[in-house]
Structure formats: C-alpha cells, structure tokens
Structure 1
Amino acid sequence: MIARTSTALDTNSSSPSPLLAELLKLRRSQPLLVVIGLPLVVTGTGIINTLFSRRGLEDGWNTLWLRTVGFHGLFPLVLGVAILASLVWRLEHRDSNWNTLMTSPIGATRIALVKTLAIAGLAAAMQATMLIVVVATGKVLFALPGLPPAHLLASGTLVAVACVPLAAFQSSISMLIRSFAGAVALAAALAGVSVSLLTAKIGSISYTLPHALATRTALLGSGMFSDPSHPDMTTFGGIATTAVILTLLIVASTGRILKCRDLYT
C-alpha cells in the first residue's frame, strides 16, 4: 500500500497550474465533441420534434425550452458529464500513468479537486453551448419574440453550478472504474433512478444524489416534478447550497479513497 501525503504542489512559475495541465492533457481526447456536439444533437432533436408536431410551439419559449434544455436535463446532461469524467481519468488508467499519479507530490484531495474542477468547467461550457444554441434556434429558426423568460435563463445558468457535485461524483466513479463504458452505464442507471424518483414527487432525492440535483435544476420552471413553475431565490439558493455541500463531501471522500489506492502492477 502506498501512503499518500497532502504536500503542496511545486509553484514554480515555469510549470502550468494543475488545472491548466489537466485541461491540456485532454487535447487528444477531443472533449469538444461532447461539449459542442451533445447540445447540437439535443437541440436538433427538439427542432425535429417541433417541425413534425402539429401543435408547434404552443407556449413559445417555454415549449422550446422544455423540448431542448428540459430534455437535455433528463438524460443527456448526466451522460455528457459522465463521458467527460471518463475522458479526464482515461489517461491516468493507461500504461504507467496511474503509478506516476500515485507517487506524485500532489496531495490526493487536491488531485480529486483539480479533476472535479476540470470536469465541471467542461460541463459548464457544455451548458453554455446549450443555452446559446437554444436561444439562437428560437430567434432565427422560429422567430420567437424577445428572449426566454428570466426564470428559465436563471435556472439554465444554475445548471452549471448543479453539475459540480455531479462532476465530483462521476470523477470518483471514473477513478475507481477503469472501464469507460462501465462508468457511463452507471451514470445512465442513476439518471434513470433520479428521473423516476423526481417524477414520483420525491424532491428530497435531489439533496442526496447529484444526478437528481442536476436533472431537477435543468427542469426548474417547467412545472415538472415538485417545483413551482416560477422558482424564487429561495429555490435557487437551496440548490446552490446543496451543490456546494455535496461537492465538498464527495471531493473529501474521493481524496481519502485515493490515498489508499495501490499501484498498478
């Protein structure tokens, strides 16, 4: 068993920051295919659904939002974050990279935090792409007036915050499971459980399961689940606070687990 110490990373100015180094390692993994491609596919599905629907956009921006951002929050969002997490950890599971990681001077908790921030940053970029594409679609393709209601834009932005604990959780899973497909499959299963429990009006699940928190946040203002159609600052604040607490707990737990991991032989 290799003992890990939480020593500080060398702050030599010639070396990139741990977060920047993490993002640079992803260049060959092409995470932009997920960050940009997934929102385009989801929005395209919503467009096709609308064009072939006899009812069109009955409620303007609200209908378009539900068919794109709302649908994205049910499963694609969680799967996208899971794929990004697997990409971030995939290099560490190759060759002797794991052994290098385990013997590096960076503390285990700091490694867990940096991995989480890298995944969360990519997830935030994916959500930003989703919002931009949806607004552009509404204005250019469907000529909808104005912009989406403020509460929808607020909830759509808050999704980036709600994805941080999801990023931390999936980072931990991808650390433990070397199989890319296995980690994503587990995320899909948990997404299904989350949707089922939220549909059953068990809103408290979002305070314990990161997948449910992300899904609930993506559908705020849609009238689904147990949330009001026009959420207030109390709802937004509760989600943000939950996201912070869950993230801290998961990152700390991941750090402790990582300290006890063996070298690969």
Structure 2
Amino acid sequence: MRHLHTEFMKLRRSLSWPVVVLLPLIAVASGAIGTLSTEQGASEGWHTLWIRSIGFYGMALLPVGIAILAALVWRVEHRNGNWNALMSGASPTWCIVVGKAGVVAVLAGIMQVALLLTVIVFGTIVFGLPRFLPWEYFLSSILVIIACVPIAAIQSGLSMFIRSFAAPVAIALAATGISTVALLVGSTGAVVSPYALATYATQLGTSLVGGDNTSFDAASVSLASASLVIAVSALSTFLIMVVSTFALNRVDTRV
C-alpha cells in the first residue's frame, strides 16, 4: 500500500486524470449522438445506450487508454535521472513492478467507473430513461475492471523498458486490433490475450453493434463467463509480473 500511495503522489499534477475522465465521456457522448441520430433512437432503453457506448470503447479506447496511463505513470521515471534514483533505492524490484502496475490498474478501474456513471447521467438526463441501469451492467463493469489488470501489467512493463511515450501506445493499438479481429472471427481462445480479454469483458451481457446487426455474439453475464475472466486475468497478471520482475533484474540501471 505504501508503494501505491507513493505512486499516486507522483500523479497529483499528471495528465492521467484528464485521460481517466475524458475517454469515458467521449465514448458515451459518441454513443448518445449515434443513438439520437437513428430513427429507432433508444428503442431498447438502457440496453441501446450501453451497447453504443461500450462497443468502440471496449475495442479501442479502453486498451489504448490504459497504455496511455502506463506511459504517463512511467514518464516521470525516464526523465531527469529519476530512473537511476528509482533503481538505486531500497525498494525491491518486485515492489517497483507491482507498485507501478497497481497504480495503472487502479486508474483503469476508475476509468470504467467513470464510464458507468457517465452512462447513467446521459441515460437519465439526455434520454429520460425510466428506472435504472440494469444490474448486469454493474456486474460486467466489475469484470471489466478485473480484465483491465493484465493490460495494466503488460503496458506498465512495456513503458518500463521503452522510453518512448508513443511506442507502447502503438503496440497496444496494434495488439487490440489483432485481438478484436480474432474475436470477430469466432476464436474463443483469443481471450488468453489481455487485450482480447478486456474487449470480451466489456461485451458481457450485450453485443457489439454494426448497423442493424451484431458483429459477434457476446456471452451473457454468468458464473462461467465471470470465472473465465477472473481466472485468465489472475494467471496472465501473475505471469506478466514474474517476467517483468525478472527482466528488470537483468537489465542495467538505465534503459
């Protein structure tokens, strides 16, 4: 917890917070505009607004947003000799790896909460939808947060070793595109990829929308789908952390 607190202290004036707020806002605003521009409008209520908001968000904005957050978290360490200070400190290597990945994961979780709250605000104020957002979207949001953890770990690892801000983000964009295509062609094994797992989790309980048809059938929010997300996320996060820690122990004191 001490390492997480230290990392968050470093982000007090970071651009991370605008990213956390603006990306969900862009996703939901785009979904709302798309809904308002169709003849059907929000014909299926909350379901329509949710799938129009979460579709592109899950296929691109979320993974790329996490990559941006990871790059921002590590940027301070790659400037003004901070890397040497970090590596020469008393903290064990694994604490550095876990602390950095942990703060990125927390920021990603906050970003998903921001999306959820933004959907509720738009649905209530803009569309005047009755009742409340269906419970399954709250459950799927929890699973999305869990699925974000391995992306946070791998992107933190990339930004740890790559000084460039843009390169890890470009890698995330390419990996997300490949993973999404794999899901579209029906490759269920694609969920072993952290990027595909996040996209899969965002679509639980709904479907991606392409015109009047769905691009692929999403799984329902069930014990099986939840167990899959949790198990794959836990295993991949553990492996990524081990590899990152080992690699950091092997490199010189400056990358």
Q: TM-score when scaled to structure 1?
A: 0.89
- Alignment deviations for residues 5-31 of structure 1 (CA, whole Å, 9 cap, x no partner): xxxxxxxxxxx9111111111122231
Aligned counterpart, 1:121: 106
Aligned counterpart, 2:64: 79
- Alignment deviations for residues 186-235 of structure 1 (CA, whole Å, 9 cap, x no partner): 1101110111000011121112x11111111001112354543x331121
Number of corresponding residues? 248
Q: Is the 8 A contact 1:165 1:210 kept in 2?
A: yes
- Alignment deviations for residues 93-144 of structure 1 (CA, whole Å, 9 cap, x no partner): 1121111112112111111111111000001111000000101111111111
Aligned counterpart, 2:251: 261
1:169 equivalent to 2:154? Answer yes
Aligned counterpart, 1:249: 239
How far apart, CA to CA, are the structure 1 residues paired with 2:207 and 2:20?
27
Q: Is the 8 A contact 1:116 1:167 kept in 2?
A: yes
**Which secondary structure does the structure 2 equivalent of 1:27 belong to?**
coil
How far apart, CA to CA, are the structure 1 residues paired with 2:217 and 2:88?
47
How far apart, CA to CA, are the structure 2 residues paired with 1:206 and 1:147?
31
Structure-to-structure mapping, 1:1-265, within 5 angstroms: 17-207=2-192, 209-224=193-208, 225=216, 227-228=218-219, 230-264=220-254
How far apart, CA to CA, are the structure 1 residues paired with 2:85 and 2:217?
47
Q: Is the 8 A contact 1:162 1:240 kept in 2?
A: yes
How far apart, CA to CA, are the structure 2 residues paired with 1:70 and 1:142?
19
How far apart, CA to CA, are the structure 2 residues paired with 1:122 and 1:98?
22
Structure number with the bigger relative contact order (C-alpha 8 A, sep ≥ 6) is 1
The gaps in structure 2 that reach 5 residues or longer are 209-215
Report the Cα offset of residue 42 of structure 1.
1.2
2:182 corresponds to which letter in structure 1? L
- RMSD across aligned C-alpha pairs, in angstroms? 1.5
Identical pairs, percent: 39
Q: Structure 1 pair 262/245, CA: closer, same or farther in 2 (3 Å)?
A: same
Q: TM-score when scaled to structure 2?
A: 0.93
Moved segments of 4+, more than 6 Å:
none
